[in-house]
Structure 1
Amino acid sequence: MSKAKLKKLLSTLSKEQVVDIMLQLYDASKEANAWLEFYLAPNSDAELEKYKKAIRSQFYGRNDWPKDPSFRECNKLITAFKKLIPDPHAIADLMLYYVEQGCSLTAQYGDYDEPFYTALENNFNKAVKFISSNGLISDYSLRMQRMIKSVECCGYGFPDTLWDIYYEYAED
């Protein structure tokens, strides 16, 4: 059904019927539940912390023991957070946090395989592109530089690729 058709149909319903539909939708879908809660009482900071915790748990298990991250799950978390339509700063923060977790893991525990670095490079590229397109480079420039410097000891040309991505969008 198109949005226009849905809008026309909803406009024929009473307020009580629309409220009933919203309550049923709230119960039927976790995603709808999260979106409605955020829409009605937006708290980007609390939601951001919740998503950061979920991403961190993909990289570190109990007692901060490292584990092989599920990049697929991390990408799903980023997508779900974006659907809430939070402030672009919160999205940028979460996107960088995701890459920072991977950088922290490899800086602390040594080199990983090439697909690990490729996944991080691809996600860093998405983050920097998002940051640039939202005019936030100056807000996140130092953070990105610190993150890249933290992995200069890593292999597979990883830090070089991150620098290349950074300089492709950097304003300085």
Structure 2
Amino acid sequence: MSKSALKKYLSSLKKRELEIQILDLYERFPQVKTFYDFAFNPKEDKLIGDAKARISNEYFPRKRKRPRARRSVAQKFIRKFSTLGMDPYLLADLMLYNLETAQRFSAVRKVNEAFYKSMLRSYSEAVSHVILHSLENEFQNRMDHIYAQVREQDWGFADEFERIHSTTTLKEL
């Protein structure tokens, strides 16, 4: 069904019929429930705090011995929060927190090339997000520190990190 056909259908419904359909969607689809829960009571700080705790637990687990260090955990949160329309500043903070946590992990544990490639993708996405939302002034120091750690820890794909990082510093010239 096209958007225009949906608009025409919705405009033909009476208010009570529309309410019933929305309630039905709310009960049937968890995504609709999540959207409305967020729209009317966002609690963004709590959601970010919970996400940061889960990301930290991936690298520095409290209950199990071995860290999993999965990028996908952070990516799920980032996608979910982006879809919900979370404040871009908070989303950028979470993206950079993920990278900072991964760097603390790689400073004490040996990691493989796939880890570096995955973090390169995360860094690229974070930088793109920061630039897209004009948040360079707020996050430039953190991005600089992340890039400095890439060099200091001798991460793989350092040249690619440098290329991406240079896109944030060009605006200062």
Q: TM-score, normalised by structure 2?
A: 0.84
Change (3 A) 1:29 1:122: same
In structure 2, the partner of 1:115 is: 114
Count how many residue pairs are aligned between Structure 1 and Structure 2. 171
- Tell me, yes or no, if the aligned pair for 2:117 and 2:156 is still in contact at 8 Å: no
- Tell me, yes or no, if the aligned pair for 2:147 and 2:165 is still in contact at 8 Å: no
Q: In the TM superposition, what whole-angstrom CA distance separates every residue of 1:146-171 from its partner, at most 9, and x where no partner exists?
A: 23334544244455543432122223
In structure 2, the partner of 1:67 is: 67
1:16-165 superposed matches below 5 A: 16-63=16-63, 67-107=67-107, 109-157=108-156, 161-165=160-164
Rounded to whole Å, the distance in 2 between the matches of 1:9 and 1:111 is 58
Which secondary structure state, in structure 1, belongs to the residue aligned with residue 50 of structure 2?
A: helix
The AA in structure 2 aligned to 1:4 is S
Rounded to whole Å, the distance in 2 between the matches of 1:136 and 1:104 is 24
- Tell me, yes or no, if the aligned pair for 1:51 and 1:81 is still in contact at 8 Å: no
The AA in structure 2 aligned to 1:76 is K
Task: Single out whichever of 13-22 and 50-59 deviates more from structure 2.
Answer: 50-59
Which secondary structure state, in structure 1, belongs to the residue aligned with residue 13 of structure 2?
A: coil
Q: In the TM superposition, what whole-angstrom CA distance separates every residue of 1:65-104 from its partner, at most 9, and x where no partner exists?
A: 5512222333222111100111211221122122222112
Rounded to whole Å, the distance in 2 between the matches of 1:54 and 1:3 is 37
In structure 2, the partner of 1:9 is: 9
In the TM superposition, residue 123 of structure 1 has moved relative to its aligned partner by: 0.9
Which secondary structure state, in structure 1, belongs to the residue aligned with residue 134 of structure 2?
A: coil
Gaps of 5+ in 1: none
In the TM superposition, residue 34 of structure 1 has moved relative to its aligned partner by: 1.3
% identical equivalent positions: 27
Q: TM-score, normalised by structure 1?
A: 0.84
Change (3 A) 1:56 1:156: closer
- The CA RMSD over aligned residues, in Å, is 2.3
- Tell me, yes or no, if the aligned pair for 2:113 and 2:156 is still in contact at 8 Å: no
Rounded to whole Å, the distance in 2 between the matches of 1:8 and 1:62 is 54
Change (3 A) 1:32 1:56: farther
Rounded to whole Å, the distance in 1 between the matches of 2:66 and 2:162 is 25
